[in-house]
A = this chain, B = another copy of it.
Amino acid sequence: MSANKPRPERIDPQLVPKVVVSRLSLYLRELQHLVRDGRATISSSQLGQLLGFTDAQVRKDLAYFGHFGHPGIGYRCDELITEIRRILGTDREWIVTMVGVGNLGRALLRYKGFAAQGFRIVAAFDADTRLVGASIEGIPVYALDRLREMVRQQRIQIGLITVPAAGAQQVADQLVAAGIAGIVNFAPVTLSLPPQVRVVGVDLTTELEQIAFAVANRAASR
């Protein structure tokens, strides 16, 4: 395979470990920072070093999807950004909704990072009738009984669940019934979903536990 012709076929996502896909996000973000800083090319070892990975790891991860380096040059940052966005499917816009506009929901609606990477939140939903009709950061808040209608009308593909744990499964069922293809679940509970719906769980406490583990065991091994 030539360096100039990355593999055009779609990948079976089942064959790519999840951790590889999550590292693609890290590579993408780092490359975007590099381009903003005026950098045109980077080697696998430099990219790895910036993120704390080996050059072998970087090359192996990217090899799942094709050959993107150029002999004597390394990666062209812009080109690799384009390729990674194509692989992730973020070379086009994704239409997103959010259910639950409590504190976390509001914070995420105000977060600029989603739109910057191609995720456009077009509608929010909440069970609290006092919030219905409001607009947060220009995003209208609807009653939950309009979910199915809005998902179809606006061609919403991804749903963010930001309700408390106790209500998350019911909201997930409603999103599935409305025809959503993927869910990002911020509620600290495991959802039960049909296999055709993709789900990623975000448990914010997990990150704190990772740090606790590292710090606790570091302290003990001194």
CB-contacts of A36-70 with B (<8 A)? 50-52
CB pair B51 A190 closer than 8 Å: yes
List residues of A (104-128) whose CB comes within 8 Å of B's CBs: 104, 106-108, 110-111, 113-114, 116-119
Binds B, one of A71-79, A84-92, A145-153, A171-179: A84-92
| CB-based contact B25/A215 at 8 Å | no
* Interface assignment of A131: CB less than 8 Å from any CB of chain B: no
- Beyond A24-B209, A208-B184, A209-B25, whether A214 also contacts B190 by CB under 8 A is no
Smallest Cβ-Cβ distance to A21: which chain B residue: B213
Known contacts A106-B103, A106-B107, A114-B208; is A29 also within 8 Å of B198 by CB? no
Are B214 and A117 touching (Cβ within 8 A)? no
Residues of chain A at interface, number, CB under 8 A: 71
Q: State whether B207 touches A200 (Cβ < 8 A).
A: yes
Given contacts A25-B203, A217-B10, A217-B89, contact A212 B158 (CB under 8 A): yes
A206 to nearest B CB, angstroms?
4
Q: Report yes or no: B218 in contact with A198, Cβ–Cβ below 8 A.
A: yes
Give per-residue flags for A194-222: 1 if the beta carbon is below 8 A from chain B beta carbons, else 0: 00101111111111111111111111110
Q: For A22, list chain B residues within 8 Å (CB).
A: 206, 210
A222 smallest CB distance to B (angstroms): 10
Determine if A211 and B182 form an interchain contact, defined as CB atoms under 8 angstroms apart. Answer: yes
